[in-house]
Amino acid sequence: MLKTVLLATSLIATSATPASAKPQKPSQPAATRNSTVQGSTPYAQREDAMQFADDLAARRGLDREWVRQAVGQARFLGGVPKLMLPPASGTAKNWRVYRSRFIDPIRIRAGVRFWQEHREALARAEQEYGVPAEIIVGIIGVETIYGQQMGSFRVMDALATLAFDFPAAHPRAKERTEFFRRELEQWLSLANRTNIDPFEVKGSYAGAMGLGQFMPSSWARFAVDFDGDSRIDLFKSPTDAIGSVANYFKGHGWTTGMPTHFAVQFDPATLKLDELLAPDILPTFSAASMQAKGGVLEAAGAQHTGPMALVELQNGGDTPTYVVGTENFYAITRYNWSSYYAMAVIELGREVAAARATTTAK
């Protein structure tokens, strides 16, 4: 069994301290050392942030002053809350445009290189976790173009901003605020446990990190030491990133050998489109019940024994694209709650696999 370590990257730590060890207070945190940090007001001036720090320290058994120092020196990133807002009402989704952002010659060529360089790790991950290499390649390609774009925001600032200043205009503001507060708690717990400065790590504006853009809770639960060097490095070890992405999907119900989706057509005489779309991307219908509501499945889909969902991908003002997603399609959406994202991952992986096959055959 692979030894799972909570967090240690070559950028931020060399060894982990035991969970029972007394936390080390950074004598001169990066927030103080760097006079050109992003953001403006430090959260030390916010009573709610300091109360959160006190509660976190008590709940997790962490050094109160260390936690207050970390939370207090985090800075508000003014542009980040706007990035969390959904598109303006009336903005048409467009699968073709969305797809073009992720499936292009540059990303495909980078994917072929990544697969060639790490083919042994990908093959081992597929064998051990049952997740196809092309799905893993699709995820890492969509997320960071194989490590080229891992984010430039200090994770501590990003998480604090979204924990304490998530935009109230968001339709799920309360739920998302609680999510980011949990992620901030996870991040500080990981930083404390591994004795690192929580301000040194950079990631996305939402606080995601590494080649696969893991949030702190996903790092704690699913990151694995897949290269066997007794530490986890999702920034500079593609092998660790590959194993961790595969482990993430296995932990979210990936079923080995199951297709992600099937083609579908409609029988206008029996079609009950609203009923088929009502569960959204949650697999709900059997093949028989879907076909009874007018969803005509291809042969493989008609024989599928698990639940399925009708997935609608809008194309602006044109006719939407429809597919029938399986539980494995749904598993991909656990990485990012979007059917558009899941299809981009699937199709990028397939395009890379096809390009690689062509390259290998030459």
Count of alpha carbons within 13 Å of 16, Cβ hemisphere only?
Answer: 19
How far is it, in rounded angstroms, from Cα 167 to Cα 71? 19
For the chain, what is the HEC assignment?
A: CCCCCCCCCCCCCCCCCCCCCCCCCCCCCHHHHCCCCCCCCEHHHCHHHHHHHHHHHHHHCCCHHHHHHHHHHCECCCCHHHHCCCCCCCCCCEHHHHHHHHCCHHHHHHHHHHHHHCHHHHHHHHHHHCCCHHHHHHHHHHHHCCCCCCCCEEHHHHHHHHHHCCCCCCCCHHHHHHHHHHHHHHHHHHHHHHCCCCCCCEECCCCCECCCCECHHHHHHHCCCCCCCCCCCCCCCHHHHHHHHHHHHHHCCCCCCCCCEEEEEECCCCCCHHHHHCCCCCCCECHHHHHHCCEEECHHHHCCCCCEEEEEEEECCEEEEEEEECHHHHHHHCCCCCHHHHHHHHHHHHHHHHHHHHHHHC
Which residue's entry shows tokens 């599928």?
Answer: 304
The active-site residue out of 126, 134, 143, 185 is 143
Contact 213, 144 (CB under 8 A): yes
Which residue's entry shows tokens 């303006």?
Answer: 88
Closest-CA residue to 292 (of 313, 312, 311, 266)? 266
Q: Is 327 annotated in the active site?
A: no
Which residues are part of the catalytic machinery? Answer: 143
